[in-house]
Every structure is written in structure tokens, then in C-alpha cells.
Structure 1
């Protein structure tokens, strides 16, 4: 789960940064999963106000307060008592509070990182679905909903996801592209290679493509390439449906290596950390940035202005297709789940707030313009006041469509194989220190050893 913890930190950091600029009942007795018992429901007299205790780490409090204010205005009998945590503290504090029986009504859940550590003290969504619209499931992106359910070890849905993040995507400095005579986002690795050559010729002091060389990010890039062959290939590798030395895997490793051996991606850039790559792009010293969808806030001109980012206009696209006959792909996972603890005595009211946040255009419009998550609500569109240029509008639409299409998940398959074997091996592939065939054989041997079971 190392990557998921890293991305959780990114999500919390991104939410905090975005907040600088976007200011605009029927319940079962036990839930059937052990843990604490469901609290009895408090009676509420006519005209009486109810206060719900809400703990979360995301979105940032400045953004979330707008959501709460809008909800309370629409529901004057319900008040929200918010407590916001940093990402790291939240992963420690929430399980302790739930296990200790603290009275909480709504909790944010880091879907991949926290579901299984807190699920025994949460009410399954099926317990409070009667307090939601009868067609609520059809209103939520099915891939995100499925990922949220499958991450639980008992295959039970405990939260409704606010949205999803995915990788890898490419962000572009429109001014630098125009200066180099580039008029469209690259869609294939050949087009990207041609763009890199143009940038080197016109702007020798600019890094054509900035990206993190950290091992966790390189496996994100690699798996995006792999899933261009088969959108479920990384899932199939981890579940044993496809061998790590299969022809598909060799093809993916070859395409990944070719990105570097061709000079399209510079091996010298492998020394950069994620923050270094972001800073290079944000200061106008890189034409393209290879990042995750969690960086989509940079598409907002208001965000760039508030955060001192000197790039005038930013576009985006999927990672250019690097394999013959391949298709755009991104590995994704649902995030920002909203759940109701067993300790809640106000389930119907808590469900109403979750409905507002995940199933209504009004609620979505209070936090989704941060652009940190691609919202789970089907049909949601970002206002033109947030994405003010055609490049930004088209870029975000491409990111959202690629994520919504559904591919391999991220975070479902917890194993030390990724960090202990794959990550550093991919850096050897990138530097052409090992052939794709030899790398595939090595990976399969390690996988077959039995030392890296799914946890």
C-alpha cells in the first residue's frame, strides 16, 4: 500500500492548496460484520435541530465549509460539526475513535488506504440505502462504486465515493508548445517524440518532459503503458490471470523502455523527485509534465494565480499511446468515500448529507471545482468559470473521460512485490540495463517464488 499512502498525502496536499483560491430510518442491528453494535437512533421532535459530527481529511476545510454552509442552508434542521485532520493523523485517529465508540455521524474514508482498518465500525451502505433515492446507484460512476466495494475484504460497500484519481496523464504549457509550433496534444509516442524534438530545437533551456524518477511513479507510468495493450492488464498480472513473462508483458516493457531509449523521456530526468518535476513545470521550465489526475488543479487559471504559477495556459491529455494498436488508458481508484459509523444516532440525517455531497449537482459544485477528484456523480461538468481556456476545458474532459472509461484499479492488490521487486527493476529497464525479456523472466520468477502473496 506504499503508493496509496503516498497518493493519500498528495490528495491531502492538493486539497489544501486548492482551498486557497476556490472560495465561491431503517438500520440493521449489527451490519453483519462484527465490530461494535449499531447505536440506537435518537428521536427528533418537530422543529428540533440535529447536530452531526463529521470527521475527515478531505477536502480542505476552506472548501468543505462552503459545502457545509450550502447544506445547512438547504436543510435548516441539520447542523454539521466538522473536525478536519491532516492525512497522516487521520489514518491513526479515525480507527482509534471508531474503535473507542466515539459518537460520529459522518466520516471520510480513504478508500484504498483505510477501508479495511475501519469497516467493522461502519454501517454497510445497504443499511442506510433506504434513506437515499431509490435510483442512487445509477447516479454514481459504476467503476468507482465497484472499486469502493471490492477494496473491502468482505466485498461489502461501506462508503460512497466522492470521486476518483488516476494516472498517468500529461499536462502541457500551451505557450511553450505554441512557440515550438505544436498545435495539439500528442496522442501517440511518435507524436510526443516529434514534439520533444521541436521543443529541443526552439527552447534548448527547457526540459521537454518533466516527471518524477521515483520508483513508485515509474511503475505508475509503466502500468499505464501496459494497460494501453489491455485495459485490465495490471489487474490480470496481480491476480495471476496473466504471467509476468507473458508476451503482453514483454510488449509493455519494450514500449516503456523505448520511451527512454528513443529520447522521448530523458533518463537524466529520472533523478527528479515529484516536487522537482512539478516545480519545473510550474515555473515555465518544462513543456510537458507527466503526473496524475490529482494535479488537475493546475488547469485552473485562478489556482495558478493564487499559487504563483507563472504558466499562462495549461492543457492536458492522456499518456500518448506507446504500443501499436493500443488505446488510451489510466489506472484509477475511487477516493474520498463518505460513510456512516455504527455509533451514529442520526443515520437518516447523515445519509442526507452524503446524498448532498455525492448525488446532487448543488453539493458537487461546492467542492468538485477544486479539480482534485474526478467526481463520481454521472453527468457532472466543471463550470466554465473554473476552466477558462479551450485547452484547459478539453484537457480536463480528456482526463475525466479516460478515468470514467474504467481500466485497471489501483490499490486493490496489496503486496510487497511492487516495492521489493518491480519498482527498482523498472528503473533498470528505463536505463536499458536489462532487456525486456530478461526483466519479464525475472519478475515471473520472483512472483512464482511465493514470497509475495496478496495481503
Structure 2
């Protein structure tokens, strides 16, 4: 799961206060379904919004923009660190005093929280339109056994390596496309006293991202069949992917000490401070290509960050003769659910509808270079630090996001845990690739019994 609180990933939201006043107004709500009364325009409502993303500070532009358009609805936001979030929501959402609206990740979290949510499909059809599934990206990933447990807010993809062009230029090297090039790049970067690549391997989610990137080079799309029990995880392609994962350690791309390092904040901080040239992140890091975000980040990472150029590349071919590189996997980074226990469901859905399908909110999302859930809202490519490098990357992402090879999240928590443990064991030399693949297959079979 996303997957850990991606603190700096949320920083792009700080820009939204200025953007909100420029976004067009959202369409008003029509009558709700019979099970959810329409909002009385003369009545005041208060809803409780719980999230790990945005945090307590960066949520304010969203709340201010919403309340400006819905002056009779007050939003109280509670931020909870992602490590504590699932348990906090699981307990509170069973009571009458819990959240009215709360965030979901696709995969295991959506599966586990499904009984606590209101089915949003009828409300979406009546208020967004009968074609709501066509209007919004990847709604299927928030559908659990026919129940629409949430609506998507923004769409992100994994499968990228981010590099600091300023550092690579200083080292006299270029972004790698193969394992051999990656090793050569690391030699040159380390020669100028900078760490080449930083991986927060203590966090299983980023290890799963890297593994998916690798296996998609060998057998594109097979990973998603296998984790759902439609292919055997002991097949050669999955074992080979474990071998390639291990080679990143043995070839010196990933430091063995990475197993004690978190992706957020440890690895991400090192990258932003200019202490490392590369890191495995996804499209959620796109805001780091803008001058506005880097100016904001200077308060945390120092003024040096404002002179850096960050850009993404496809995960390099680390298997030799990859069938395909650069395929993104992902979907809704955050989805918004309405609690089945909420006593303010009409106001709660008004807020969810606004976040996910209004021009105001989705334009705010796009201006931060995040892909909006609402397909009709384009992502601009202005305000970049190096347009010649970054505009092509954004154009490629737009194509990839509309054709994701699979979901980032594994729907079964036990399978995700088994794969995370297997990757750590292979990296540390405690498990062979074939045994690792077998351990994951055992978890998949148990999940599908």
C-alpha cells in the first residue's frame, strides 16, 4: 500500500490556494437518490473529513475553495499519518462519531473498508451523470464486488526512476536506459561525491514498485494475472525478476543499507537535498518539475533545490533485452468514500462529488501536475524548470496513464505482505529467487481458496 505518509508528495498541494481562485466553479448538485436526501440549501451542515493525503496544512486550499462554493457546509479535516490511518478509520467508521468522508487506497484497503462505505454508484449516476464511469478515470479500481466504495481524486502511476539532471550534468553522464549504463552512471556520480541511487527498501511498497517495473520488462502484464491467481508465480519470469532485483544490490545500484532506510522521509529527503542523483518514484512526484514547488521546498531542503532540474525516465532495462520498458502501473492514488454511518450523507456526497468531478477541484489537481480523475481536465505543462526535458516526459505520462498496464496495489493484503517479505529476504540473501517465488505463490493460493 501505498502504499507510509508521502509527506513531500503532498507539498504540491500548498500551491493550490492560489490556483483555487482561478479555477472555474463546480456544477451544483441535483437531487440525490431516495436513500440520501438532497442538501437543503438553507440548512447548515458540518462534515468530518479524514485523510492521510492531504495533510492538515495542505488540505486548507481544498476546504476554502469548497466552502466558498458551498457556504452552508463546513468541513472539519482530520489528518492521520498513513501508518496509523487504517486502524483509526476501521475503528471510528463503525461508530456514529467517525468520519463522514474518508480516504481510501485501491487494493487491500478498499477491500477491507468496503463494508464501512456507502455505495456511491447510484449517487454518481444521478448527480455526475449516467456516464460517470466514462467521465472519471479508473473507477473500476474502487469497485469491490459490485459496490462503488469510493470515487477517484487523482490518478498516479509507478514504474519511473527520477533523476537530478543538474547532478548528472556535473558528473558528465546521462540518465541510464540499461543496467550497464546505470552502473557506469553510478561510477561517474559517485566520483563527484554524490550517492547514485537511493532506495527506501525498509518500506515494502517501493520494493513492490521496483519489482513490478522489472517483471513488466520480462513478461508485460503477467504480474497482475499472477497475483489474482490466474497465473503461477513460480513461472520463470517471476524468478528471473527476483534475480534482477537481487542484482541491483550485488551490482552496487542499491546500497545494502537500504533495507534500513525508509523511502519517506529518508530516501526522498536525500534526493531533494542533492545527496543522491536518482530515486524510484512515480508520477506523484511531477510537481518537482515546477519552479513553484521547488521554491516552496526551499524552506525544507534549502535554497539549493531551486537550482536543480528533476525529471523522470522509464525504469531502465535491468534484465537485458527487455520486451518493454516504460509501462506505468497505477490508478487512483486516493479515493474518497462516504461512511455508511454518516448522518450527513447528502453533504458528504456533495463534498466527494466536488473533489472528484468539479472543474474547480480537478483544475486545482491538474495545476499541480497531477493527473485529475476527471478526464476532461488536461494537465498543463507550464511553469517547468526545464521544458525541453520535462514536457516530453509529461506527454508520455499522459499516454501511459490512459493505458495503464495494471494496478499498483495488490488487492489481497496477505499476498502483498508475502511479496514484500520475499523481496526483503532476497535482497538480504536470506532467500533464493525460486524459494521467494514459491512463497508468494503459496500466499496467492491461500488467498484464492
TM-score normalised according to structure 1 size: 0.78
The Cα shift of 1:130 comes to 0.5
Find the counterpart in structure 1 of residue 373 from structure 2: 376
Distance (Å, rounded) in 1 between the aligned partners of 2:187 and 2:118:
55
Asked if the contact 1:218–1:426 (Cα under 8 Å) also holds between the matched residues in 2, the reply is: yes
The one of 304, 313, 318 equivalent to 2:297 is: 304
**SS in structure 2 of the partner of residue 170 of structure 1:** strand
Q: Within 1, Cα distance between the matches of 2:376 and 2:64?
A: 24
**Runs of 5+ consecutive residues of structure 1 not aligned to the other structure:** 30-39
More divergent stretch after superposition (49-58 vs 97-106):
97-106
The 1:206/1:334 distance shift into structure 2, 3 A limit, reads same
The answer to whether the 8 Å contact 2:128/2:357 transfers is no
8 Å contact from structure 1 (residues 66, 366) kept in 2: no
Q: Quick check: 1:364 aligned with 2:356?
A: no
3-state SS in 1 of match to 2:5? helix
Secondary structure of the equivalent of 2:4? Answer: helix
> How far apart in 2 are the matches of 1:111 and 1:440?
29
**2:198–2:276 contact (8 Å) kept in structure 1:** yes
Contact (CA 8 Å) 2:104, 2:337: kept in 1 or not? yes
Q: Deviations over 1:287-326 (max 9, x none)?
A: 1122344444433323432322533221112212334222
Matched, 1:64 2:65: no
The within-5 A match list for 1:274-423 is 274=263, 275-299=265-289, 300-309=293-302, 310-311=304-305, 312-323=308-319, 324=321, 325-343=323-341, 349-367=347-365, 369-370=367-368, 374-384=371-381, 387-390=384-387, 391-399=389-397, 401-420=399-418, 422-423=419-420
Which of 225, 238, 256 is residue 236 of structure 1 equivalent to? 225
Q: Find the aligned partners of 2:444 and 2:342 in 1 and give their Cα distance.
A: 43
1:280 Cα deviation from its structure 2 partner: 2.4
Matched, 1:119 2:114: yes
Judging changes above 3 Å, is the alpha-carbon distance between structure 1 residues 454 and 80 closer, same or farther for their aligned structure 2 residues? farther
Counterpart check, 1:439 vs 2:433: yes
User: Matches of 2:100 and 2:427 in 1, distance apart?
Assistant: 48
Q: Is the 8 A contact 2:315 2:326 kept in 1?
A: yes
**Which SS does the other structure have where 1:364 is aligned?**
helix
Change (3 A) 1:79 1:419: closer
Correspondence for 2:245 among 244, 252, 256: 256
Match of 2:132 among 127, 130, 136: 136
Q: How far apart, in 2, do the equivalents of 1:277 and 1:440 lie? A: 29
Match of 1:35 in 2: none
**2:74 maps to which residue?**
80
Which one of the candidate residues 30, 33, 38 is aligned to 1:27? Answer: 33
Structure 2 counterpart SS, 1:253: helix
In the TM superposition, what are the counterparts of 1:140-219 in structure 2 within 5 Å?
Answer: 140-141=136-137, 144-149=138-143, 152=144, 154-182=145-173, 185-201=175-191, 203=192, 205-214=193-202, 216=204, 217-219=206-208
Give distance in 1, aligned partners of 2:3 and 2:237: 30
Could you tell me which of 423, 426, 435 is aligned with 2:423?
426
Q: What is the RMSD computed on CA atoms of the aligned residues?
A: 3.5
| Aligned residues of 1:369 and 1:383 also touching (Cα < 8 A) | yes
| Structure 2: runs of 5 or more not aligned | 19-30
How far is 1:225 from its partner? 0.4
The whole-number CA distance in structure 2 between the counterparts of 1:207 and 1:65 is: 36
